[in-house]
Structure 1
Amino acid sequence: MRSPLLSAATLVLALASGNAVAQEEDLTRLPPASDDYRPSQTPWGEPDLRGGWPIDHLNGRTPLQRAPEHGNRQLLTQEEYAARAEAVEALEQRYQNEDTNGTMGIGHWAEVAAANRRTSWITAPADGRLPAYTAEGERLSAAMRSTWARGQQFDSPADFDSWDRCITRGLPASMFPFMYNNGMRVFQAPGVFALQMEMVHETRVIYTDGRPGIPAQIGQWLGESRGEWVDHNTLKVTTTNFLPGPSATNIGTTGSPPENKTPVSASARMTEWFHMVGPDQIIYEFTWEDPVVFQQPWSARLEWQRDDDYGIFEYACHEGNVQIRNYINASRAERAAAAGGTSQ
């Protein structure tokens, strides 16, 4: 699963980051998405974003939420960046160590890419952290069940989140990097923009033909998306109709809330912008609004790089496989042993 382009990408990003350090003065701002680039057009006259856009190059030490000591800074200082690069290099060395020792462990399982200067993926609020929950958001989060939660007992599928059950990683979680299966590929046809995601083998189908939305009573794991070309290089996507529930999703990327219990309500709305700013670059931004769960909206930004050679592998996990049963049997056995009896 390890990308053969990782070393080259590491070098390029490191050099680019080093140059940026020398020139950057305001660490509280990111450069805006430029509208200067004019991408080629599809045969039917839309900006052509087709191709491979894996986000494996973003998987590393950059957290979802900013560390409090970084305040309102979007970028690391030169010294902080050097420390992160050193930490990433140590993580990357695990792969080589396992190869040398003839073993296979976390170094092969958890991929790591080059360090970058971002203090967090969250860009708003200004502190780079998730907003506070509402009272209802706190209640829903406390009711969630997940294998990420310490001390969790398992007795039925209701004790697992949708990612545990290999149903979906959900949104906005699916748009963030993880330690594996970071493939993204864009397909386009007249009136349709489709985003294939390697994680949980899902494809987001985004209609751009102006059709109306579906009834509000119909909820879906990934919601229902409608897109519009708002500029010569930008697709704006609005997604509603999310399936609510205390086990709907968790974010599950570096720096997520502990235990990853982030609920979604039927009132959630996600607005995304896919800005193509170069032949091999997309600036991806979104704003998440869920007034039932969060006290205010929050936004994030990630920089995508084209890699048409990235191979999307089978995500060998499906609902109803043996893992849910194994968790339940093991949990019952542990409790029975602690009570001095036998499991049922």
Structure 2
Amino acid sequence: MWRAWNLAKYDLEDHGAKPGVPAGRGFVVDPADGRIPYKPEALARRAKNYEGTKTLDPVKSSDPFAKCYLPGIPRMTYLGWPFQILQTPEDVTFVYEWAHKKRVVPIDSKVPLPPKDEGGAWMGNARGRYDGNALVVTVTNFNAYTWFDMAGNYHSDALQVVERYTPMNADTLQYEATITDPKVFTRPWTIRMTLQRQKDIGLLDYECTAMLDDLGIDHTWPRDFDEEK
């Protein structure tokens, strides 16, 4: 089992304390200033996204994750819930506690990526390879609905993520993700963090959608999202 013990889920950039959000250092290592390289016109959308999170009612939140929609990649990695990595010669499978999600990554596959779904996929489509002892996963074919964190940092359907999982020792992985999206950012940018092995634990049941049902909240995304836009 692996887990990210950090504050990346709140904001990938350096940030001060806010209501419900502890202060924390950022995880952007490229550019060197630690800032996400947004196009000027994209910054207004990020600000609007963040303003829409200032509610305790998940049905009113602008963050799709608050409504139990899949958080996408790389956000799933640093949500704070543990996940398992299973390896075979043909593929690597990530099994996440959150929503029981499984992600199967074919290794050195000659099979082309499936056609992009109408609107794209929440977790994208992935292909993997090994570079020395590092696992490199290229993910494309995303939809435009997921965010990178709770601060409203976002992307379009042109997103490509290249993940790199590098063993540092028996109990530590270095995780890097290089993010490219020419519709939103002026250049590719990279985050870096460590993942720690969690011994003597298992994956628990986590039914996010069931909790929404208990609250009487209709699971209507992305229809309501499109209407808001």
Question: TM-score when scaled to structure 1?
Answer: 0.53
Query: In the alignment, is the contact (CA less than 8 A) between 1:146 and 1:161 conserved in 2?
Result: no
1:286 is aligned to 177
Letter aligned with residue 224 of structure 1: N
Give 5+ residue unaligned stretches, structure 1.
Answer: 1-51, 69-105, 113-117, 253-259, 327-344
- Among 66, 87, 90, the alignment partner of 1:188 is 87
Shift of 1:271: 0.5
Cα distance in 2 for partners of 1:153, 1:202 equals: 21
Shift of 1:63: 6.1
2:124 is aligned to 223
SS of 2:3's partner is coil
Query: In the alignment, is the contact (CA less than 8 A) between 1:134 and 1:292 conserved in 2?
Result: no
Identify which range, 261-270 or 221-230, moves more after superposition.
Answer: 261-270
Q: RMSD across aligned C-alpha pairs, in angstroms?
A: 3.5
SS of 1:318's partner is helix
Tell me: CA distance 1:134–1:205, structure 2 relative to 1, closer, same or farther (3 Å): farther
**More helix per residue:** 1
The count of corresponding residues between Structure 1 and Structure 2 is 211
The structure having more radius of gyration, on CA atoms, is: 1
- Among 251, 254, 257, the alignment partner of 2:149 is 251
1:235 is aligned to 135
Tell me: CA distance 1:216–1:274, structure 2 relative to 1, closer, same or farther (3 Å): same
SS of 2:135's partner is strand
1:312-341 deviation per Cα after TM superposition (whole angstroms, max 9, x unaligned):
222131175243639xxxxxxxxxxxxxxx
2:205 paired with 1:305: no
2:225 paired with 1:323: no
2:168 is aligned to 277
Shift of 1:145: 8.6
Tell me: CA distance 1:209–1:297, structure 2 relative to 1, closer, same or farther (3 Å): closer
Shift of 1:186: 0.3
**More strand per residue:** 2
Give 5+ residue unaligned stretches, structure 2.
Answer: 219-229
Letter aligned with residue 249 of structure 1: W
Question: TM-score when scaled to structure 2?
Answer: 0.76
1:326-337 counterparts in 2 under 5 A?
none
2:69 paired with 1:163: no
